[in-house]
Chain A
Amino acid sequence: MLQREVTIGNKLGLHARAASKLVNCATSFAADVWLRRGEREINGKSIMGVLTLAAGKGTVLGIRTQGEDEQQALQELIQLFEDRFGEDE
């Protein structure tokens, strides 16, 4: 199992389209993906779960991946946050 913390950098936070990109990325891996905000942990492959994190800019999220391709899954998810979901700001 692998874990990392990320900070949400895009202006709008994990809004619906960003959440959608995250779920797309997570579901492309066999590994389980979990996102944690504070006490709450949700399945990173569920759009409803990701939306209910209501994570705005500057929120720190924990990402946890577990499974065969956990390494690559974690890397690509982090990349998504670093690219700010492809948004300008």
Chain B
Amino acid sequence: MTLALTGHAVARGIAIGQAHLAERNELEIGEYRIQAGDVDKEVRRFHAAMSAARNQLQQLSLRLSQNAGTTASEIIQVHIQMLADSSIREASERRIREDHFNAEWALQLQLEKILAEFRHMDDEYIRSRGEDVVQVVRLVQSKLSEGDGEKEFSNIPDRLADTLVIASELTPGELAALHERGVAGVITEHGSPYSHAAILASSLGIPAVFGVRMAQSLLREGETLVLDGRLGVVYANPDPAFLDHYHEIQRITSGFRKSLEGARKLPAHSLDGEVILLQANAEREDELALAAGLEADGIGLYRTEFLYLRGEAPDEETQLAEYTRAIKVLGGKLLTIRTMDLGADKTSAALDFSLLRSSMNPALGLRAVRLCLRDTELFKTQLRAILRASSCGLVQCLIPMLTSVGEIMMVKHLLQEARQELVQQGLAFDPAMKLGGMIEVPAAALAMEDLGAHLDFMSVGTNDLLQYALAADRVDEQVAHLYDPLHPGVVRLLQYIFNAGSTLRIPVTVCGEMAGDRRYTRLLLALGLRCFSMHPDRLLEVKLVVRETHIPRAAAALAQWLNLGSQRQDVPLLRLLDQSQA
């Protein structure tokens, strides 16, 4: 009979294999007093164990940074800092010197003191950091007890392929060691979903379920297990049909990964033959390179805030160097440079704080182009750098947060001044560089004809547009549920934007998160969008949906939904769109 055990779903994925129960060497923490004459010797023993623990963590951090990325090694850095914290290092030493406790017990007393403080915290995430402190102190104590704490587990084989390890709990270091031996999945009895071991499992891609009560007593060595990391369930001794079902899911998942890889070379054409442009949002060099490698149709959004967040406002040459570097990485593909979008929640020391701090409601205040038009010197420096970059490659300029035609006129005036200066100085630029505007303000969206008459292209920033249209901050837990991209008002607003773009014959892109979320791809196509810009990680997923969509059928289903009137809320739009394809 199949036994199902539940716990916290901490890392997605399905693992199928044999159970292995990890036996931990239980540490016995002795308590005794040191002779006055031996105190120095005990302190030396303490420091030797501290350095050994530190070395082990540093080596682990180094290995992880090479093989598993920064998140994993940053987690170990936290442990290294905890080890060096005066509440452990100095306070324990003081207990040895003043109270003549042995090193293990001195550490134990400090640990209990720190844990008592953590237990009082209201925040569950912070409370679970107590687990990290326990793990760090245990590591030092194990170094003290045997002089060699390498073997935290006594019975782990060198190769763990097709093996699921069941432990009472796991430290990030132990988890990393299991990963290096090829473990298929992990199950623990204790450990919160906020633990660092949980974060690490997820970043290493190890399917994991934590907090499965009594797992070590209920599961038997060598029996077959199925671990569903998405649901947080472990099945023991599954019957053959059940096992087949999970093998099938595993096969489909890996098949999906393969078809993603296969989509790289395929064109982004819909089933009815429409050519869809898939662009990338990128700023870092690795993102630009990834976008180029995935054959994106250029960069639809290159953010420049990072230049201003380094401190001093970047001068023209610094900016030009960054832009030309991006152009080189792209190897001839289009680069859409967005002028700086600071203000609201993104501030910089490079800006005049007296302008920023005055607003009670920063999201509706002086930000993005509004700020640029106040500090025109800062803005013109950027416009000059972008113009000069346009002589080195295919570059277009995008202005964030436009509200009125007046703003476009002011931007155009500054661009004209910049061009004249460059001509006088004999500096090269592309006189035909295109100018686009971001549609984030709902009133600007409904005035597409007015704004569009003065622009070469438009890009819809759905994150802000939706936030303003729904009057809900998606980061604010209290109102995040109101942030709904499927709200009929939002759907109509987007439809208006894309229709107006097509009537005006002006290209419209979406560069907000909706563009990279494949759940909404079919809806956006049905609404009339033909150009998407998204994080390069999402390009292939979205391309697969495009290739499986017949746009006129989806558009008919959407029209039907929009005409439902008061019954609309009973009909799930996304399902209707999917059904239209069958």
- Kindly state the separation between the CA atoms of A82 and B117 in the bound complex, as whole angstroms: 29
Mark B344-365 against chain A: 1 for CB-CB distance below 8 A, else 0.
Answer: 0111110000000000000000
Interface of A is mostly: helix
**Residues of A47-77 whose CB lies within 8 A of B:** 47-48, 51-52, 54, 56-57, 75
A20-B78, A54-B122, A54-B123 in contact; A47/B475 too (CB < 8 A)?
no
A11-B475, A24-B81, A48-B133 in contact; A17/B309 too (CB < 8 A)?
no
A3 in contact (CB, < 8 A): no
- Chain B: minimal CB distance from A46 (Å): 5
- Kindly state the separation between the CA atoms of A82 and B75 in the bound complex, as whole angstroms: 22
Taking a contact as CB atoms under 8 Å apart, the answer to whether B349 and A79 are in contact is: yes
Taking a contact as CB atoms under 8 Å apart, the answer to whether B129 and A83 are in contact is: no
Taking a contact as CB atoms under 8 Å apart, the answer to whether B311 and A79 are in contact is: yes
A15 in contact (CB, < 8 A): yes
B440 in contact (CB, < 8 A): no
Residues of chain B lying within 8 A (CB to CB) of residue A54: 121-123, 126
A48-B82, A54-B121, A56-B123 in contact; A17/B74 too (CB < 8 A)?
yes
- Kindly state the separation between the CA atoms of A1 and B336 in the bound complex, as whole angstroms: 45
Taking a contact as CB atoms under 8 Å apart, the answer to whether B129 and A51 are in contact is: yes
**Residues of B51-110 whose CB lies within 8 A of A:** 71, 74-75, 77-78, 81-82, 85-87
A30 in contact (CB, < 8 A): no
- Kindly state the separation between the CA atoms of A54 and B121 in the bound complex, as whole angstroms: 8
- Kindly state the separation between the CA atoms of A20 and B13 in the bound complex, as whole angstroms: 29
Q: Which of A20, A48, A75, A79 contacts B77 (CB under 8 A)?
A: A20
- Chain B: minimal CB distance from A13 (Å): 8
**Residues of B283-321 whose CB lies within 8 A of A:** 309-311
Residues of chain B lying within 8 A (CB to CB) of residue A89: 475
- Chain A: minimal CB distance from B345 (Å): 6
B464 in contact (CB, < 8 A): no
Taking a contact as CB atoms under 8 Å apart, the answer to whether A82 and B348 are in contact is: yes
Q: Which of A16, A75, A83 contacts B132 (CB under 8 A)?
A: A16
- Kindly state the separation between the CA atoms of A89 and B345 in the bound complex, as whole angstroms: 10
- Kindly state the separation between the CA atoms of A56 and B122 in the bound complex, as whole angstroms: 12
- Chain B: minimal CB distance from A57 (Å): 7
* Smallest Cβ-Cβ distance to B535: which chain A residue: A88
Taking a contact as CB atoms under 8 Å apart, the answer to whether B85 and A46 are in contact is: yes
- Chain A: minimal CB distance from B114 (Å): 6
Taking a contact as CB atoms under 8 Å apart, the answer to whether B85 and A16 are in contact is: no
B561 in contact (CB, < 8 A): no
Residue among B81, B86, B118, B129 with max Cβ neighbours from chain A (10 Å): B81
Mark B182-210 against chain A: 1 for CB-CB distance below 8 A, else 0.
Answer: 00000000000000100000000000000
A35 in contact (CB, < 8 A): no
A23 in contact (CB, < 8 A): yes
Q: Which of A15, A48, A83 contacts B125 (CB under 8 A)?
A: A15
Residues of chain A lying within 8 A (CB to CB) of residue B310: 79
Residues of chain B lying within 8 A (CB to CB) of residue A51: 118, 126, 129
Residues of chain B lying within 8 A (CB to CB) of residue A44: none
Residues of chain B lying within 8 A (CB to CB) of residue A19: 78
- Kindly state the separation between the CA atoms of A20 and B123 in the bound complex, as whole angstroms: 18
* Smallest Cβ-Cβ distance to A43: which chain B residue: B86
Q: Which of B122, B129, B345 contacts A16 (CB under 8 A)?
A: B129
Taking a contact as CB atoms under 8 Å apart, the answer to whether B86 and A46 are in contact is: yes
Taking a contact as CB atoms under 8 Å apart, the answer to whether B81 and A20 are in contact is: yes
Residues of chain B lying within 8 A (CB to CB) of residue A46: 85-87
**Residues of A1-46 whose CB lies within 8 A of B:** 9, 11, 15-17, 19-20, 23-24, 43, 46
- Kindly state the separation between the CA atoms of A54 and B309 in the bound complex, as whole angstroms: 25
Mark B470-496 against chain A: 1 for CB-CB distance below 8 A, else 0.
Answer: 000001000000000000000000000
Q: Which of A20, A47, A78, A82 contacts B74 (CB under 8 A)?
A: A20
- Kindly state the separation between the CA atoms of A68 and B86 in the bound complex, as whole angstroms: 22
- Kindly state the separation between the CA atoms of A75 and B123 in the bound complex, as whole angstroms: 29
Taking a contact as CB atoms under 8 Å apart, the answer to whether B347 and A82 are in contact is: yes
Taking a contact as CB atoms under 8 Å apart, the answer to whether A17 and B475 are in contact is: no
- Chain A: minimal CB distance from B16 (Å): 32
A46-B85, A82-B349 in contact; A52/B75 too (CB < 8 A)?
no
Residue among A19, A20, A47 with max Cβ neighbours from chain B (10 Å): A47
Residues of chain A lying within 8 A (CB to CB) of residue B311: 75, 79
- Kindly state the separation between the CA atoms of A9 and B244 in the bound complex, as whole angstroms: 48
- Kindly state the separation between the CA atoms of A11 and B311 in the bound complex, as whole angstroms: 21
- Chain A: minimal CB distance from B245 (Å): 37
11 pairs of residues in contact across A and B, judged by CB atoms under 8 Å: A11-B475, A16-B75, A46-B85, A46-B86, A48-B82, A48-B85, A54-B121, A54-B126, A79-B309, A79-B311, A89-B475
What would 20 more interface pairs be, CB under 8 Å, given A48-B82, A52-B118, A79-B311? A16-B132, A16-B196, A17-B75, A17-B78, A19-B78, A20-B77, A20-B78, A23-B81, A24-B77, A24-B81, A46-B85, A46-B86, A47-B81, A47-B85, A48-B85, A51-B126, A52-B126, A56-B123, A57-B475, A82-B347
